[in-house]
Amino acid sequence: MRVIDKETAILVVDIGNTSLTCGVYYRDMLVWHTRMQSLKEKTSDEYFSVIKSLLDDKYLSKIKFVAFASVVPEMTRIWMHLCQKYLKAEIYLINAYSDLGIKYLVSDPGFIGADLVVNAYAALQKYHTNCIVIDLGTATTVQVIKADGTFEGTVIAPGIKTGSAYLFEKTALLSEIELVAPTKLLGTNTHDAMLSGIIYGHAFMIDSYISAIKRQYASDMELKTIITGGMSDLVAPILSFINHVDKTITLDGTYLALKRLHEISKD
């Protein structure tokens, strides 16, 4: 079995339906990360060409382990082939069956996405308390993980870009707009009105969920709220209850999960 030592680099890959994020950890630090489109049409050779062009060879040559948190099986197969062909790395697939000490309230947690699992695990390891974790991706998820490792459940809603794309598609008189921070609550033109509806509307939904969750658990525990995901910078300033914006929590959770599973496998 390979050993994780101070000269070992670890590649982690978070594969979503719209985008994927890669990160390299070296000496317990995230030394490089990038985001790219999640395209099933690309081959493993094409993806590796992108990675090689972006990642310093001093890290690329040291990668001995790879961990995946993926919700797209076809993309997982492409990237596993990449890792086997070019990196000769030991591969870990993180999912709800991984032995991470997380307790689920269902007998078979297999339907729970890998992104939710690694976000929950990272929250436990990084914040050591009860957490609400909001992830703004293709879907927006709101989940609760208790300090004792109990995964209480999650909410899955259309993401900001997903919802806005549907709006643009179904409304003939509304043109697609760039999603930026709105400058006013009530728009006096179509552009500002749409921007407010898309960004503020999403923020108000999240705030309402956080408020309801806090009321539900008020007698049992305090809850720290963490937001992540590609659109978090747009929404976080509007939210009322956010404690941390953690843009790397998914990568961190995948990395920390690999380290735990590797330690368990040595016993």
Question: Which residues are known catalytic residues?
Answer: 115
Is 36 in a helix, a strand, or coil?
Answer: strand
Q: How far apart are CA 36 and CA 42, in angstroms?
A: 12
**205: nearest Cα among 119, 113, 140, 123:** 140
- Classify strands 244-245 and 224-229 as parallel, antiparallel or unpaired: parallel
* CA 252/CA 244 separation, integer angstroms: 15
Q: Which residue shows structure tokens 């009322």?
A: 240
For 51, left (φ over 0), alpha (ψ -120 to 50), or beta? alpha
